[in-house]
Amino acid sequence: MATTSNAGPKALGKLLRGARKTLTAWLSRPLASFHLILAIMCLLMVLGLIMVLSSSSALSVQQGSGAYSYFTKQAVFMGIGLVLFYVGLRTPLSLIRRLSGILIGACALLLVFVLFTPAVNGSKGWIRIGGFGVQPVELAKLALALWGAHVLVLKRNLLHRYRHLLVPLIPVALVLLALVALQPDMGSAVSLGIVLLALLWFVGAPLRLFGGILVGAVAAAGLFAFAASYRSARVFSFLNPGADPRGAGLQYNQSLQALADGGFFGRGLGEGASKWGYLPNINTDFIFALIGEELGFLGCAVVLGLFALLAWTGLRIAARNTDPWIRLVSASLTVWLVTQAAINIGYVIGLLPVTGVTLPLISYGGTSAAVTLAVFGVLANCARNEPEAVSALRNQGPGTFGRLLRLPAPEPYKAPPSKRAPTRPSAPPRQAQRPPTGPGANSYRRAHMSKWEPNRRMPRDERRAGGRR
Amino acid sequence: MPGRTRGSIGVRKASISRALSRADKTRRPARIIVGRVLLVGALVLATVQLVKVQAFDGPQLASAAEDQRITPVSIPAKRGTITDAQGTKMAFSVDVVALTARPKAMRGTWDEAQGKLAKSGGKAVSYDQHAADIAGFLKQQLGDQFNEQDVLARLRSDRTFTYLDEKVDPQVATKIREKFPDIGQEKRSMRRYPAGSVAANVVGMASWRKDQKPPGMQGLTGLEHALNTKLAGKDGRREVDTGNGSDVVIPGTERDVRPAVPGMDVKLTLDEDVQYKTQQLLDEYRDKVKARGGSIAVLDVKTGKVVALADDKNYDPNDPSTLNSNNMGDPAISSPFEPGSVGKAITAAGALQEGVVKPDDVVTVPGSVKVADRTVHDDWSHPTQRFSFTGILAKSSNVGILKIANRLGPEKFEQYLKKFGIGQRTGIELAGESPGFLPSRKSWSASTFGNLPFGQGYSMTTLQMASAYQAIANGGVRIPPRIIQSTTGPDGKVVEHKSPKGTRVIGEQAAKQLVGMLRSVTQKAPSPNEGTAPSAALDGYQVAGKTGTAQQVDPKTGKYSQSEQTTTFAGLLPADHPRFVAAIMLDRPTGQGGQTAAPLFHDLGSYLTQRYNVRLSDGPTPKVKFVLN
């Protein structure tokens, strides 16, 4: 007996050590991040489609449009999203970066345009194309991340001045926020804010700035919340959910009941009762409650685990890349998606007031799903631009997946050529050389490269990359 | 601003560049690590909260969730079937569907949907056209009896709810509702009575009551009413989860809390064919002799079981509109009447049993006799004659039977009346049985004993009359009549309903003597030796019986009417081996018992002997002399 009881832990320890070794080995493969992103995306996408079908079938039938109407729409958008994913993956990142200005400009115009469309459910955020509605705000979030990163990296060496750190990023972001607030769409405003904060955080903005932003954001959120009665009702019902369980506290209470009903293993896929009219918006904002009800704690844990893995992988991509724009973009996009998930899950489980932030790739919502897939495309692209991955792809071939998708090998990162000694401490002329903003920034930069390139300090990574050359 | 801030900008510049350089120092800068910790930390926090919600607060929240979804549903129990002794179904239930519509809401929904269709380029159909389509399809499915125009008008009207048809076959209903999903349904059951009015007075009628809670089948008359709870069984209880604010059942949530217990099946002692024939003969004779009404009870001699129990006024239980206060009862058990001379058999039975007289004894019978303040005549005028005891019964002499009764004495006579069941309910399973009326010995006046021995002054039902003669036919043992043969419980177990233990009323010898005497009633011979009911005689069989013609009490004067009579005949056959006993009552016919009720007995006996292949009697009834001088 003694030997067996000793042998147990020993064998387990051996197994664990073996597993860890295998895991470390797998993670050290050059394309590990890329494959992780693909896996996370596929799992979330499949789970999302299943849950959209489960959550909306009852609703669809009650509306008399057939059990699959919501599911079909979502699937079509997922298909479009997969095309966008491929575009995001295939397009060279440098091109994406160059187009980011045009993208954000176009998004701003569309956001102005939607304000003149008829309101749907009290919100003007939709452009109707055929039978499908598209929300430009979703694309604007991605555009803000791409363009914001571009501007910040461009002004990399001027960021020690608040003016360069904040302008033009903050004004543009505020314009977008204002346009979104006019729709109004509080959930998207929150998402845009997250993207902005993530950009500032990862570019290294001073902590006191975040302190200031925090105070401002709380004030703004308060104003925003109490400007509309339904939002203040949400806040009050969050603070005292038992006060009106059939009115303002309805979603809070029904959501917790649905989760509790699921228990550990859930009632079984499709067996959820909340979707039969008990929990409003169950196919969009509260789909996580249905996951909890039908798939139980296990299902919830899988979703939480996938988003945690996304956080880990996305920031790993950021850490392993050398191109500062890629680093900033991948980190910001990751934070955007994961924070949005955390906020959504947070209010579903009763930790936050209801904000209408959706659960990426799982909530019903075509544009959101499609754009999220595009984001995954960009993230995957970034993963393929990790130096180890670039080296492997260039030296050992594109690999199965790359061959299948006819993906070209990524170009290695070239630090911008320095014409002067990198360490020379000279301040640029302050007033005259205002850094460029907007779509024309690249051409401006190319034209005036020599004027302000000397000011940049070459980071270590770039020096090393440059050294290899 | 510039002057004051210049220096501080310099400080900040230094701190920012320090931060930036720190961030760039390694491939895992602090901001990325912090970001990772914050993101994963938020998700871990969510996991902790999930454990709280799904595990610790779980049961309480989950029960709250369940409470709001549960809707109890009643599972209707299947109502029991009623059959006759041969197992022929007399009453059974079938499932039907009542098709419902909500015209007002249907119009709204239809117009909205068609509006959408028109917008997206489809061809819209007006609601009125839709209503016409529905009515047309219903007509096609439900046949000629369906009133298409009426239903169409209701569908196009502004009412909130209407029944389109309340008795639709479930399969047809499914077909209709597949084609027109906006038509609703109510599941019901319907009672079918294949034999229509045959035994309707016994079986009764049940109909669907939508106004009761829960809606269900309710027995209104007859056994359907008397045995309602047993026939109905017990509705089960099912719980389903329904959607919020609707009665949409969430698929897969049905669970039976309590199964339905089907109702009891009832097998009657009746023979449907005999019942039919009896009713038919009754109707025929009622019309022939212009009676106001009548009833017949046919019993099996050996068991006392009711073979037929007929009333002349009937309804068709398939059609509730035929039911009215005149025909809904069962007068054969509920309406007592003064039997008249039929009751002389009881007096004779007592006298024979007590030995105060023998069948062949000769009694001097004057034309009339004075009892207290009244004078009793015979039905026909005659001088003082010497009658045999048999002759007194066969000719139905009131004066003669009073002489015999005097030999018996009022105390003994009253005992025999009671032993024959007069004034007591037989205890048959039907509702509303009357005990009849027998004045208590204490209340007898001086003239009472001058009335009772020939069947006036007390009353009995047709069934009681049959039961009394059953005792005579059965060697003196009276077995109270019963009409339920057996019941089958929900477990499928058959419970035979045994008849109550018989009680000996008179000895076997006296019974045999009495039957022998009663045979002479049907004797056909030249006057004065002809019985009162030769028309009851049946070729090949010895028939025993007794006629009766009783004066009815005129409700206006409270005295016996000279014109309104009840005619009766109670008989048994074959007299040598009695098998059936029948009691016939006709209300206010033209003619006496011998001319009205007796021929009916003949026809009925003729049918019974053929139907049951009754063995012929050993010989014809021996002729006897009634008057001896």
**pLDDT digit string, tens, across residues B436-455:** 999 998 888 888 888 899 88
CB contact under 8 A, A258 and B65: yes
What does the pLDDT read at residue B17? Answer: 54
Q: Does the structure show a pLDDT above 80 at A234?
A: no
Q: Does the structure show a pLDDT above 90 at A109?
A: yes
pTM value is 0.67
Calculate what percentage of chain A has a pLDDT beyond 90: 35
Cα torsion at B356, B357, B362, B368 (round to 10°)? 70
CB contact under 8 A, B35 and A264: no
CB contact under 8 A, A461 and B24: yes
Q: Which of A201, A260, A301 sits opposite B35 (nearest CB)?
A: A201
Q: At A1, which amino acid appears? A: M
Substitution target in B1, B27, B63, B117 with the highest count of A β-carbons within 10 Å is B27
Distance CA B248, CA B250 (A): 6
Q: Which residues of B touch A256 (CB under 8 A)?
A: 53, 57, 61
Give me the long-range contacts of A162-165 (CB less than 8 A, separation at least 24): A162/A209, A162/B12, A164/A435, A165/A200, A165/A203, A165/A205, A165/A209, A165/B16
Chain B CB within 8 Å of residue A57 CB: no
Distance CA A67, CA A61 (A): 5
What does the pLDDT read at residue B64? Answer: 84
Pairing of strands B205-209, B162-168: unpaired
Q: Which residues of B touch A308 (CB under 8 A)?
A: 39-40, 43-44
Q: Which residues of A touch B254 (CB under 8 A)?
A: none
CB contact under 8 A, B61 and A264: no
The mean pLDDT of B354-374, rounded to a whole number, is 88
The phi, psi pair for A186, rounded to 5°, reads -65, -40
Task: Give the three-class secondary structure for B101.
Answer: strand
Task: Report the complex ipTM.
Answer: 0.82
Least confident piece of the model among A119-133, B362-376, B583-597: A119-133
B196 against B12, higher pLDDT: B196
CA-based nearest residue in chain A for residue B117: A65
Chain B CB within 8 Å of residue A274 CB: yes
Chain B CB within 8 Å of residue A280 CB: no
Chain B CB within 8 Å of residue A161 CB: yes
Q: Does the structure show a pLDDT above 90 at B41?
A: yes
Q: Does the structure show a pLDDT above 50 at A421?
A: no
The phi, psi pair for A408, rounded to 5°, reads -75, 150
What does the pLDDT read at residue A417? Answer: 67
The mean pLDDT of B471-486, rounded to a whole number, is 94
Is the distance from CB of B368 to CB of B380 less than 8 angstroms?
no
Substitution target in A201, A202, A259 with the highest count of B β-carbons within 10 Å is A259
Phi-psi region of A410 (alpha: psi -120 to 50; beta: other; left: phi over 0): beta
Q: Does the structure show a pLDDT above 70 at A432?
A: no
What does the pLDDT read at residue B257? Answer: 79
pLDDT in tens, B287-319: 999 999 999 999 999 999 999 999 998 899 998
What does the pLDDT read at residue A469? Answer: 35
Chain B CB within 8 Å of residue A273 CB: yes
Q: At A198, which amino acid appears? A: A
pLDDT in tens, B384-432: 889 999 999 899 899 999 999 999 999 999 999 999 999 999 999 998 8
Q: Does the structure show a pLDDT above 60 at A442?
A: no
Substitution target in A62, A261, A348 with the highest count of B β-carbons within 10 Å is A261
What does the pLDDT read at residue B48? Answer: 93
Q: Which residues of B touch A296 (CB under 8 A)?
A: 54
Average pLDDT, chain B: 87
CB contact under 8 A, B16 and A58: no
CA-based nearest residue in chain B for residue A331: B32
The mean pLDDT of B50-60, rounded to a whole number, is 87
Q: Does the structure show a pLDDT above 80 at A4?
A: no
Identify the band that residue A345 occupies on the pLDDT scale cut at 50, 70 and 90: very high
The phi, psi pair for B362, rounded to 5°, reads -100, 130
**Partner B, chain A 193-212, Cβ-Cβ below 8 Å:** 198, 201-202, 204-206
What does the pLDDT read at residue A49? Answer: 93
B526 against B302, higher pLDDT: B302
CB contact under 8 A, B65 and A161: no
Is the distance from CB of A163 to CB of A333 less than 8 angstroms?
no
Q: Which residues of A touch B58 (CB under 8 A)?
A: 260, 263
Q: Does the structure show a pLDDT above 60 at B320?
A: yes
What does the pLDDT read at residue A290? Answer: 92
Give the gap in angstroms from C-alpha B65 to the nearest C-alpha of chain A. 5
Q: Which residues contact B39 (CB under 8 A, 6 or more apart)?
A: A308, A311, A315, A334, A335, A338, A339, A342
Highest mean pLDDT (candidates A159-163, A428-432, B91-95) = B91-95
Catalytic residue among B197, B295, B335, B341: B341
For tokens 């555009």, what's the residue?
A: A143
Least confident piece of the model among A63-67, A415-419, B318-322: A415-419
Highest mean pLDDT (candidates B108-122, B466-480, B587-601) = B466-480
Run of H or E residues at A28? none
B467 against A242, higher pLDDT: B467
Q: Which of B45, B54, B66 sits opposite A262 (nearest CB)?
A: B54
Task: Give the three-class secondary structure for B526.
Answer: coil
What does the pLDDT read at residue B69? Answer: 83
CB contact under 8 A, A260 and B244: no
pLDDT in tens, B80-110: 999 999 999 999 999 898 898 898 888 888 8
What does the pLDDT read at residue A402? Answer: 84
What does the pLDDT read at residue A422? Answer: 47
Give the gap in angstroms from C-alpha B155 to the nearest C-alpha of chain A. 22
Calculate what percentage of chain B has a pLDDT beyond 70: 95
Write the DSSP string, A119-170.
Answer: PBTTB---EEETTEEE-HHHHHHHHHHHHHHHHHHHTGGGTTSHHHHHTTHH
Tell me the HSE value of A317 on the side-chain side, using a 13 A CA sphere. Answer: 32
Give the gap in angstroms from C-alpha A304 to the nearest C-alpha of chain B. 6
pLDDT in tens, B532-557: 889 999 999 999 999 998 888 888 88
The mean pLDDT of B195-209, rounded to a whole number, is 91
CA-based nearest residue in chain A for residue B28: A319
Q: Which residues of A touch B57 (CB under 8 A)?
A: 256, 260
Which tokens is B575 given? 């007299």
CB contact under 8 A, A160 and B13: yes
What does the pLDDT read at residue A329? Answer: 93
Active-site residue, B341 included: yes
Give the gap in angstroms from C-alpha A36 to the nearest C-alpha of chain B. 16
Is the distance from CB of B99 to CB of B176 less than 8 angstroms?
yes
Least confident piece of the model among A208-222, B246-260, B336-350, B607-621: B246-260
Q: Which of B43, B59, B65 sits opposite A307 (nearest CB)?
A: B43
Q: Which residues of A touch B23 (CB under 8 A)?
A: 204
Q: Which residues of A touch B53 (CB under 8 A)?
A: 256, 259-260, 292, 349-350
Q: Which of A160, A277, A304 sits opposite B244 (nearest CB)?
A: A277
Chain B CB within 8 Å of residue A292 CB: yes
Is the distance from CB of A367 to CB of A107 less than 8 angstroms?
no
Give the gap in angstroms from C-alpha A278 to the nearest C-alpha of chain B. 5
CB contact under 8 A, A261 and B27: no
Give the gap in angstroms from C-alpha A18 to the nearest C-alpha of chain B. 26
Chain B CB within 8 Å of residue A257 CB: yes
What does the pLDDT read at residue B23? Answer: 46
Q: Which residues contact B89 (CB under 8 A, 6 or more apart)?
A: B81, B82, B83, B194
CB contact under 8 A, B55 and A278: no
Q: Which of A159, A261, A461 sits opposite B16 (nearest CB)?
A: A159
The mean pLDDT of B486-512, rounded to a whole number, is 92
Q: At A425, which amino acid appears? A: P
